[in-house]
């Protein structure tokens, strides 16, 4: 069915009636096409009322798009309402994002990031389409980030019990090796929904991802986020960027020893909370001697895949040993469904009582020596015990 002069006239009449009060975005797509693909066309609005000239300009764009085959047209009028028009007949349908529709989009489960309250964020990180829908392709990612929020919730609930968090003393969060920052933004949104003011800094080595993250933060108008290009190991100005020591240190899929650098930074800062998802643990696999692994099982020494898995598990176990010895309570969880990624471990740590004496790490170092391995985390931490306080005798 092709567009006709009559259907185009109905299209213009329908659209004009609804957009005068304002619109957020118009999306022109081909039948069955992806509204976010390069074949589709998007027109951004500002949500404010349109004058006659602006309405005429929008109708001209809609007409041209329809004549070019982009007949599936969606006008996002506000956070909860969109107008769907098929230019082949020109009739429109108002779609309200009511509780029933929201529940369907959320897969029948209550989720922290609802399409009606967190739509801009979901749109910015590519989960929600430009036309306000969540496709089957993005539904899995939506479930993953929602699950991640639930895993994080006990962390900031615990931090809120430790001190008053308000506009004058926001929660200080650093995301080390933030990459594209998707989960950085998810955490920022979840904290906003919890009414917990935050100051969040993302750190990465790549210029391109830092630029994209800054653009996304500006697009959302989130001034509480900033992004800096620097190595994790060199993040010496962190307290200045955050306005104080971090309350929460995050390192999600920081590759190989970058996770060790992140944990060392968290330990040195005595961060009350840590979230880490280790990735690509290659360091110990190259250090383990064949005789050591053969003593455990000849198969580990003989099969590279088994060696890699063993070394990765050993790496994470030693990291948890270090955190536990220095005063953190640690639990491990599945970050996402293991069918999505093999890099699935989330280490969630909360400081119970900071142990400054690094002598407590001696048994761990002894075990590592016996295995013939030297984890970077241990090398980053000072081995010496805490020096005695010279004034302690005067107080006794």
Q: Tokens at residue 143, please? A: 């479930």
Q: Which pLDDT belongs to residue 343? A: 60
Residues forming CATH 3.40.50.150 domain(s) in the chain: 139-380
250 confidence band (pLDDT: 50, 70, 90): very high
Q: What is the mean pLDDT of residues 342-358?
A: 87
Q: Which pLDDT belongs to residue 274? A: 97
Q: What is the mean pLDDT of residues 70-79?
A: 93
Q: Which pLDDT belongs to residue 54? A: 94
Q: Do residues 224 and 199 make contact, with C-beta atoms less than 8 angstroms apart?
A: yes
What is the DSSP code (8-state) at residue 381? S
Q: Which of 53-62, 359-368, 373-382 has the lowest mean pLDDT?
A: 373-382
Q: What is the mean pLDDT of residues 91-103?
A: 89
Element (H, E) at 165: none
- pLDDT greater than 60 at residue 342: no
Quote the percentage of the chain above a pLDDT of 90: 61
Element (H, E) at 211: helix 207-220
Number of helices and strands (H, E) in the chain? 16, 12
Q: Write phi, then psi, for 74 (nearest 5 degrees).
A: -125, 135
- pTM here is 0.83
The partner residues of 229 in beta bridges, in order of sequence, read 204
Predicted confidence (pLDDT) per residue in 8-62, tens digit:
999 999 999 999 999 999 999 999 888 888 889 999 998 899 999 999 999 999 9
Q: Which pLDDT belongs to residue 336? A: 64
Helix (H, G, I), strand (E, B) or coil at 24: coil
Q: Which pLDDT belongs to residue 67? A: 95
Closest to 174 (Cα-Cα) out of 113, 225, 122: 225
- pLDDT greater than 50 at residue 73: yes
- pLDDT greater than 50 at residue 214: yes
Q: Which pLDDT belongs to residue 1? A: 66
Cα 195 to Cα 201, 221, 244: the distances in Å are 18, 17, 20
Q: What is the mean pLDDT of residues 103-116?
A: 88
Q: What is the mean pLDDT of residues 270-285?
A: 90
394 confidence band (pLDDT: 50, 70, 90): very low
199 confidence band (pLDDT: 50, 70, 90): very high
Highest mean pLDDT among 29-33, 248-252, 305-309: 248-252
- pLDDT greater than 90 at residue 387: no
Q: Do residues 15 and 59 make contact, with C-beta atoms less than 8 angstroms apart?
A: yes
| Sequential DSSP letters for 180-226 | T-HHHHHHHHHHHHTT--EEEEEEES-HHHHHHHHHHHHHHT-TTEE
Q: Which pLDDT belongs to residue 302? A: 86
Closest to 151 (Cα-Cα) out of 315, 325, 274, 321: 274
Q: What is the mean pLDDT of the chain?
A: 88
Predicted confidence (pLDDT) per residue in 173-196, tens digit:
999 999 999 999 999 999 999 999
Q: Do residues 92 and 84 make contact, with C-beta atoms less than 8 angstroms apart?
A: yes
CATH class assigned to 139-380: alpha beta
CA–CA dist 271, 263 (Å, integer): 10
């Amino acid at each position: 069915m092709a567009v006709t002069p009559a259907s185009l006239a109905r299209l213009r009449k329908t659209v004009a009636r609804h957009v005068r009060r304002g619109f957020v975005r118009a999306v022109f797509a081909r039948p069955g096409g992806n509204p976010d693909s390069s074949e589709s066309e998007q027109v951004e609005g500002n949500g404010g009322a349109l004058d006659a000239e602006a309405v005429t300009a929008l109708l001209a764009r809609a007409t041209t798009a329809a004549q070019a085959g982009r007949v599936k047209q969606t006008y996002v009028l506000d956070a909860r309402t969109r107008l769907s028009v098929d230019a082949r007949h020109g009739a429109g349908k108002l779609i309200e994002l009511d509780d029933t529709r929201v529940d369907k989009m959320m897969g029948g489960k209550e989720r922290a990031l609802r399409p009606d309250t967190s739509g801009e964020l979901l749109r910015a990180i590519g989960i929600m389409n430009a036309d306000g829908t969540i496709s089957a392709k993005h539904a899995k990612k939506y479930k993953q980030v929602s699950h991640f929020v639930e895993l994080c919730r006990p962390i900031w609930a615990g931090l809120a019990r430790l001190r008053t968090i308000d506009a004058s003393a926001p929660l200080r969060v650093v995301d080390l090796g933030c990459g594209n920052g998707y989960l950085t933004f998810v955490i920022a949104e979840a904290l906003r929904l919890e009414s917990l003011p935050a100051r969040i800094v993302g750190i990465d080595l790549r210029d391109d991802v830092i630029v994209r993250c800054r653009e996304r933060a500006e697009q959302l108008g989130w001034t509480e986020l900033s992004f800096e290009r620097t190595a994790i190991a060199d993040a010496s100005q962190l307290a200045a960027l955050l306005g104080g020591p971090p309350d929460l240190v995050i390192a999600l899929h920081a590759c190989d020893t970058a996770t060790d650098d992140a944990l060392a930074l968290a330990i040195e800062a005595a961060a009350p909370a840590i979230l880490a998802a280790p990735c690509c643990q290659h360091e110990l696999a190259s250090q383990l001697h064949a005789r050591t692994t053969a003593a455990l099982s000849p198969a580990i020494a003989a099969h590279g895949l088994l060696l890699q898995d063993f070394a990765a598990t050993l790496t994470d176990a030693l990291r948890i040993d270090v955190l536990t010895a220095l005063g953190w309570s640690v639990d491990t969880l599945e970050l996402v469904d293991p069918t999505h990624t093999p890099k699935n471990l989330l280490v969630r740590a909360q400081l119970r009582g900071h142990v400054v004496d690094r002598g407590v790490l001696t048994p761990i170092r002894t075990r590592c020596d016996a295995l013939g391995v030297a984890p970077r985390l241990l090398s980053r931490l000072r081995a010496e015990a805490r020096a005695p306080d010279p004034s302690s005798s005067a107080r006794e």
